[in-house]
Amino acid sequence: MIEPVIVTPLLELHHLSAQAIIDLFEKQDDVAAIAGRGFTNPHQNLVKESGPLGWRVPQVKVDPSVNKWFVRFIVLKESKEVIGSTSFHGVPDAEGMMEIGLGIEEAFRNKGYAREALAGMWKWVSTFPEVKTLRYTVSPENLPSIAVINYFGFEFKGQQMDEIDGPENIYEMSTADFLKKWGSDE
Contact 20, 4 (CB under 8 A): no
Closest by CA position to 182, among listed 146, 154, 147: 154
Would you state the pLDDT for residue 184? 64
Closest by CA position to 117, among listed 44, 43, 10, 26: 10
Residue type, 110: N
Band (105; pLDDT cuts 50, 70, 90): very high
Sheet with 166-174, strands from edge to edge, namely 6-7, 11-15, 72-76, 81-88, 97-104, 133-138, 166-174, 155-162
Q: How far apart are CA 133 and CA 126, in angstroms?
A: 9
Q: CA distances (Å), 5 to each of 11, 97, 162, 164, in order? A: 10, 22, 31, 31
Would you state the pLDDT for residue 185? 55
Residue 186 has pLDDT above 50, yes or no: no
pLDDT digits (tens, 9 = 90+) for 79-102: 999 999 999 999 999 999 999 999
Span 169-180, average pLDDT: 97
How is residue 47 annotated by DSSP? T
Contact 119, 8 (CB under 8 A): yes
Residue 13 has pLDDT above 80, yes or no: yes
Q: How far apart are CA 150 and CA 148, in angstroms?
A: 5
pLDDT digits (tens, 9 = 90+) for 113-156: 999 999 999 999 999 999 999 999 999 999 999 999 999 999 99
Domains and CATH numbers, the chain: 6-182 (3.40.630.30)
